[in-house]
């Protein structure tokens, strides 16, 4: 059963007669965010910790939500705010109506700097204007005062654009890719927000209300919301759907495509309880789990107001940000690690006693394969002093002597054809098939790759270059009449059906006519290889390293500070 109330004022202004009819239990005080606020970059706090908006899925024609117990729906129908209170077992189905997609724009970031320092970017606008390009300086991130500590995640960005399409932005990137710019990546944002209505149906699929823009769904305090058929891992081999439960509240909102997004609004520490066991083995050594908790917390703070500018959330629940499947997957040891490190993040050593803390960029991947890589090589972002490339060894192992310097191609081939005693190879959780791997493309597989880049066939494939950690910087694919360059590690991996990493050597076989007949990738590691190697962190914990020492190793001398 459900009851609807209309309020002329704020939600706390319940009249006595209405309050008497509410379901038993306590709903938290809340001021739900409107659609334009969901697309904004503002971060709200509760009990001194950020409340994070996590995108559970988007591009949906329908979202179905229920609760463990009674639930509350808050929305605007064009006249005034309305609230529905529903008993246990109630289920609501949401569908977009009359929705218009957002108008997107694309800027190419060519340089950035910390906002705490002097502005050196504005003067460079004239240089781009002289080349016939529009440029501007914008700022993202936040200046946060937490428990007497100032955390500054703000950065100024010099961007060229805007471009009306992603293809146009990519074309510009390709045209300046050899100019030695300190950064070079495409940033997507909203030029005109989406708009439209949401039809609210009850469990019998009867239309009961129409909302404008978004609907706020909250369970009783301490209980969970259930979202049915959550889509996950879109674009990956393990893509699927499943019903999931979530602490906190859920928004159903019009997304940038004019369809629906489901968004979980959840305090950071609750979020971490669901994140850490999804990102690292629940029975991993406790110091490795603590390192993961601190790193994941830093990722949350580092990405707030820096990611998903064209979406109604701060972070997504996929590998692009951090894998999150909600409540119910908590485990004792990861929860212990989250609690033991509550409010702690990895930062660069202070340059002054009273200066703001500067987060390290808390990237991590499953297995570096023995070499970490720099962030600028993988993503085109400004090189970070915390994210160097290095051979990942524990102590000084004579067996690794020949691999300590930057490797030439023959030595790299020896490294990848062997099973060297680097840190991640020593983890008791090692997946040998991810540490060293081989992928072969021939026949139809090669034809599909060629078609993806607009070639009828392949006459050659070559590596454009390597970073200091030996990841490829791109591939050149040649056809009969033209060649195509695929830049950056991730696009290369995606082109070849999600290669495990960009750390590989390539063998090309051709027939008598010069047509490529077989490509063999021999590689190491799983993931981008930037920052902390999770398997390496486990091995270091096995060797007796505490989490502070693990983080200091992977993030260039980082220290751990408590911010709340």
User: Minimum mean pLDDT among 395-399, 409-413, 459-463: which range?
Assistant: 395-399
Question: What residues contact residue 30 under an 8 Å CB cut-off, 6+ apart?
Answer: 11, 74, 216, 218, 249
CB 249 within 8 A of CB 225: yes
Q: Are residues 114 and 136 both part of a single domain?
A: yes
Q: Are residues 180 and 80 both part of a single domain?
A: no
Residue 328 has what pLDDT?
83
Q: Is residue 319 part of a domain?
A: yes
Q: How many domains does the chain have?
A: 2
CB 346 within 8 A of CB 551: yes
Q: Are residues 62 and 148 both part of a single domain?
A: no
Please, which pLDDT band fits residue 236 given cuts at 50, 70 and 90?
Answer: confident
Residue 3 has what pLDDT?
53
Residue 281 and residue 279: Cα distance in Å, rounded?
7
Over residues 454-495, the pLDDT tens digits come to 999 999 999 999 999 999 999 999 999 899 999 999 999 999
Residue 305 has what pLDDT?
62
Residue 11 has what pLDDT?
34
Residue 380 and residue 177: Cα distance in Å, rounded?
10
Q: Are residues 52 and 175 both part of a single domain?
A: no
Q: 316: closest CA among 352, 255, 274, 263?
A: 263
Q: Are residues 317 and 331 both part of a single domain?
A: yes
Over residues 151-167, the pLDDT tens digits come to 778 889 999 999 999 99
Question: What residues contact residue 360 under an 8 Å CB cut-off, 6+ apart?
Answer: 298, 346, 347, 348, 384, 386, 387, 555, 556, 558
Which residue bears the tokens 């003067």?
123
Please, which pLDDT band fits residue 225 given cuts at 50, 70 and 90?
Answer: very high
Q: Is residue 421 part of a domain?
A: no
Over residues 184-216, the pLDDT tens digits come to 889 898 899 999 999 999 999 999 999 999 999
Q: Is the per-residue pLDDT at 8 higher than 60? A: no
Q: Is residue 150 part of a domain?
A: yes
Over residues 30-56, the pLDDT tens digits come to 789 999 999 887 778 887 788 999 999
Q: Are residues 256 and 110 both part of a single domain?
A: no
Which token pair is 366?
């499953």
Q: Are residues 127 and 37 both part of a single domain?
A: no
Q: What percent of the chain has pLDDT over 70?
A: 94
Q: Are residues 79 and 107 both part of a single domain?
A: no
Residue where a domain terminates, one of 311, 337, 363: 337
E strand map for 61-201 = 63-67, 71-76, 81-86, 91-100, 103-114, 135-140, 143-146, 149-152, 155-163, 185-192, 195-201
Q: Is residue 133 part of a domain?
A: yes
Q: Is residue 256 part of a domain?
A: yes
CATH of residue 188's domain is 3.30.70.1070
149 or 410, which is more confident:
410
Mean pLDDT of all residues in 232-256: 91
Over residues 505-526, the pLDDT tens digits come to 999 999 999 999 999 999 999 9
User: Minimum mean pLDDT among 1-5, 298-302, 411-415: which range?
Assistant: 1-5
Residue where a domain terminates, one of 337, 370, 398: 337
Residue 387 and residue 372: Cα distance in Å, rounded?
8
Q: Is the per-residue pLDDT at 365 higher than 90? A: yes
The edge-to-edge listing of strands for the beta sheet with 436-442 is 436-442, 516-524, 504-510
Q: Is the per-residue pLDDT at 148 higher than 70? A: no
Residue where a domain terminates, one of 281, 303, 337: 337
In this structure, the number of other CB atoms found within 10 A of the CB of residue 60 comes to 21
Q: Is residue 54 part of a domain?
A: yes
CA 110 distance to own-chain centroid:
21
Our CA angle for 507, 402, 428, nearest 5°, is 80
Please, which pLDDT band fits residue 12 given cuts at 50, 70 and 90?
Answer: very low
CB 312 within 8 A of CB 261: yes
Q: Are residues 168 and 42 both part of a single domain?
A: no
Q: Are residues 201 and 297 both part of a single domain?
A: yes
Q: Is residue 250 part of a domain?
A: yes
Residue 25 has what pLDDT?
64
Q: Are residues 201 and 321 both part of a single domain?
A: yes
Residue 9 has what pLDDT?
33
Please, which pLDDT band fits residue 300 given cuts at 50, 70 and 90?
Answer: confident
Q: Is residue 359 part of a domain?
A: no
Mean pLDDT of all residues in 72-101: 92
Residue 45 has what pLDDT?
82
Residue 15 has what pLDDT?
34
pTM above the 0.85 mark?
no
Distances in whole angstroms, Cα of residue 483 to Cα of each of 216, 408, 478, 490:
50, 26, 4, 19
Mean pLDDT of the chain: 89
Q: In terms of residue numbers, what domain contains 178?
A: 103-192
Q: Is the per-residue pLDDT at 21 higher than 90? A: no
Please, which pLDDT band fits residue 26 given cuts at 50, 70 and 90?
Answer: confident
Q: Are residues 110 and 155 both part of a single domain?
A: yes
Residue 60 and residue 136: Cα distance in Å, rounded?
34
Mean pLDDT of all residues in 252-273: 95
Which token pair is 391?
């051979």
């Amino acid at each position: 059963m459900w009851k609807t109330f209309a309020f002329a004022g704020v939600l706390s202004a319940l009249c006595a007669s209405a309050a008497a009819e509410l379901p038993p239990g306590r709903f938290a005080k809340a001021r739900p965010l409107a659609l334009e606020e969901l697309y904004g970059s503002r971060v709200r706090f509760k009990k001194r910790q950020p409340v994070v908006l996590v995108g559970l899925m988007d591009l949906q024609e329908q979202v179905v939500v229920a609760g463990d117990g009674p639930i509350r729906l808050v929305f605007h129908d064009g006249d005034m705010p309305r609230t529905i209170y529903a008993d246990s077992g109630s289920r609501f189905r949401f569908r977009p109506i009359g929705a218009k997609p957002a108008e997107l724009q694309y800027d190419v970031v060519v340089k950035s700097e910390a906002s705490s320092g002097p502005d050196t970017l504005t003067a460079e606008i004239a240089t781009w204007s002289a080349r016939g390009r529009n440029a501007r300086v914008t700022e993202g991130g936040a200046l946060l005062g937490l428990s007497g500590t100032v955390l500054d995640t703000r950065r100024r960005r010099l961007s060229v654009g805007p471009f009306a399409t992603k293809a146009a932005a990519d074309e510009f990137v390709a045209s300046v890719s050899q100019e030695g710019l300190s950064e070079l990546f495409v940033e997507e944002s909203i030029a005109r927000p989406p708009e439209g209505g949401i039809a609210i149906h009850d469990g019998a699929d009867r239309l009961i209300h129409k909302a404008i823009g978004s609907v706020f769904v909250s369970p009783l305090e301490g209980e969970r919301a259930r979202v049915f058929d959550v889509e996950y891992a879109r674009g990956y081999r393990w893509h699927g759907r499943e019903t999931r439960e979530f602490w906190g509240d859920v928004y159903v909102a019009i997304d940038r495509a004019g369809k629906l997004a489901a968004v979980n609004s959840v305090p950071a520490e609750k979020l971490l309880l669901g994140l850490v066991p999804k990102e690292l083995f629940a029975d991993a050594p406790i110091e490795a789990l603590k390192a993961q908790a601190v790193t994941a917390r830093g990722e949350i703070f580092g990405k707030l107001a820096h990611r998903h500018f064209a979406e109604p959330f701060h972070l997504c629940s996929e590998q692009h940000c951090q894998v999150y499947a909600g409540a119910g997957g908590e485990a004792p040891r990861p929860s212990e690690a989250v609690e033991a490190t509550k409010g702690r993040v990895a930062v660069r050593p202070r340059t002054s006693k009273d200066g703001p803390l500067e987060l390290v960029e808390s990237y991590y991947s499953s297995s570096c394969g023995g070499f970490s890589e720099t962030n600028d090589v993988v993503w085109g972002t400004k090189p970070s002093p915390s994210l160097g490339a290095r051979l990942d060894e524990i102590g000084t192992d004579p067996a690794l002597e020949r691999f300590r310097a930057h490797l030439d191609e023959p030595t790299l081939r020896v490294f990848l054809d062997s099973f060297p005693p680097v840190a991640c190879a020593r983890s008791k959780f090692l997946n040998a098939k991810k540490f060293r791997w081989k992928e072969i493309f021939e026949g139809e597989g090669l034809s599909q790759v060629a078609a993806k880049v607009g070639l009828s066939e392949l006459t050659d494939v070559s590596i454009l270059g390597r970073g200091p950690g030996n990841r490829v910087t791109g591939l050149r694919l040649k056809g009969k009449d033209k060649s195509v360059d695929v830049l950056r590690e991730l696009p290369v991996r995606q082109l070849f059906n999600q290669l495990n990493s960009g750390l590989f050597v390539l063998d090309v076989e051709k027939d008598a006519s010069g047509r490529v007949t077989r490509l063999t990738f021999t590689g190491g590691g799983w993931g981008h290889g930037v920052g902390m190697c999770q398997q390496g962190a486990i091995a270091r914990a096995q060797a007796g390293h505490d989490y502070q020492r693990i983080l200091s190793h992977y993030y260039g001398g980082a220290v751990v500070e408590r911010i709340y």
